[in-house]
Amino acid sequence: MGSLPHIVEDCMGVLQLYSDGTVHRCSDMAFKFRPFYEDNSVVFKDMVYDQKLDLSLRLYKPKSTTTTTKIPLVIYFHGGGFCVGSRLWPNCHNCCLRLASGLGALVVSPDYRLAPEHKLPAAVEDAAAVVEWLRREADHDGDEEYWLSRKVIDFERVFVVGDSSGGNMAHHLAVRVGTGSVRTEPVRIRGFVLLAPFFGGVVRTKSEEGPGESLLSLDMLDRFWRLSMGEGETRDHPLANPLGPKSPRLEEVGLEPMLVIVGGNELLRDRVEEYAMRLKDMGKNVEYVEFEGQQHGFFTNDPYSHISNHVLQLIKRFILQNSSN
């Protein structure tokens, strides 16, 4: 008689992979987020953006929106190592509330397919699908009551913000936009904000070999890569390591401006810094900002903190600087 299925990968109890390939997801998270914030200056609602894959997103709109001044649009990709996370989680919801109120922007927060049920590049394909959905919405002639009305939203001022694995998705979306493999017109994506993008590599960095974080360890990073990558792939796969030996050369890719932010105590710090510096050396328009003493998710998990206010002002300045030709 064969043995019963047993757990072979466990992500904090939220996601468990069994020996027979079964995946169990638990809604009772082992780690605790701050509770849902109430921000009466922002309204939100959910929409489906991909009927075939049954993928939804959440829109966040400042109540102060008028037709006299159009507002920018921000696409926010949540983190979670490509394996966990949702637009419905408190950290993602609170972060999007803060972005909408603080930036005076319509925020689009999509869910995307997660591993191990859907290995990469599924999440990156879903990021491209969000842009395609936005292109269709930009062609609508809805009145000002319609949340995505051209009378209210400035589709010439679209920015992408990605946290952790969402930052990885933002990078790959930026490359696809830059190479023309993802069309954007009549939408204009003017910049990308990468919050501690989740990149990997076979060769360890000094910060990866340093002490773990309160919510993240090197073992957890490796587990996310094992679960999200295809069979036999390594952390030097182009989807994991944008600067790896098999990754496409970016020198000739016309990347839009980037703001790259990381905490000084993050396991990903060295890899993120190298990414930003290498792009700068290629002549790309990249601003790199490091917040001393901060760990992974310091903005997303507590978006109303004093240090998060500094992050928000950086993003606001970045949007203002890149809102015109």
Which residues are catalytic, by number?
A: 164, 266, 296
**Angle of helix 165-179 relative to helix 122-138, nearest 10 degrees?**
60
**Angle of helix 306-321 relative to helix 90-103, nearest 10 degrees?**
50
Cα distance between residue 133 and residue 112, in whole Å: 13
Cα distance between residue 36 and residue 235, in whole Å: 35
Mark out the alpha helices in 163-299 (DSSP H runs): 165-179, 218-228, 269-281
Burial class (CB in 10 A: 0-12, 13-18, 19+), 232: exposed
Cα distance between residue 22 and residue 19, in whole Å: 7
The answer to whether residues 98 and 34 touch, using CB atoms and an 8 Å cutoff, is no
Encoded amino acid at 223, one letter: R
